Amino acid sequence: MTTYPWGYGKTKVGIDRLKVLARIDLMEPEFARRAFAWIESEKGDIGIGGGWRSTQPTGPTFAPAGKSFHQSQVFNDKSSWYMALDLVHVNGDNVHRSPTWAEVPRQGSGDPRIRAYGVHANVNNEPWHLQAIEVDGYDSWVNAGRRHPIANYPVSGVPPVAPPVPKPEPPRVYLPGERILKLQSPTLQGPDVHWVQNVLISQGLRLSADSMYGRGTRDKVMIMQGWNNLTKDGIVGPKTWAVLKKY
pLDDT in tens, 204-236: 999 999 999 999 999 999 999 999 999 999 999
pLDDT at 54: 85
pLDDT in tens, 66-101: 789 999 999 999 999 999 999 999 999 999 999 999
Domain locations along the chain? 4-143, 170-247
pLDDT at 188: 95
Residue 63 has pLDDT above 80, yes or no: no
pLDDT at 167: 76
Average pLDDT, integer, range 114-120? 94
- Provide the CB-side half-sphere exposure for 176 (13 A, CA): 14
* 3-state secondary structure labels for all residues of the chain: CCCEEECCCCCEECHHHHHHHCCHHHECHHHHHHHHHHHHHCCCCEEEEECCCCCCCCCCCCCCCCCCCCCCEECCCCCEEECCEEEEECCCCCCCECCCHHHCCECCCCCHHHHHHCEEEEECCEEEEEEECCCCCHHHHHHCCCCCCCCCCCCCCCCCCCCCCCCCCCCCCCCCCCCCECCCCCCCECHHHHHHHHHHHHCCCCCCCCCECCHHHHHHHHHHHHHCCCCCCCCECHHHHHHHCCC
The mean predicted confidence, pLDDT, of the chain is: 92
Average pLDDT, integer, range 134-142? 92
pLDDT at 129: 95
Task: Specify whether domain 4-143 bears CATH 3.30.1380.
Answer: yes
Topology of domain 170-247, CATH: Muramoyl-pentapeptide Carboxypeptidase; domain 1 (1.10.101)
Looking at the whole model, is its pTM more than 0.75? no
Average pLDDT, integer, range 31-45? 95
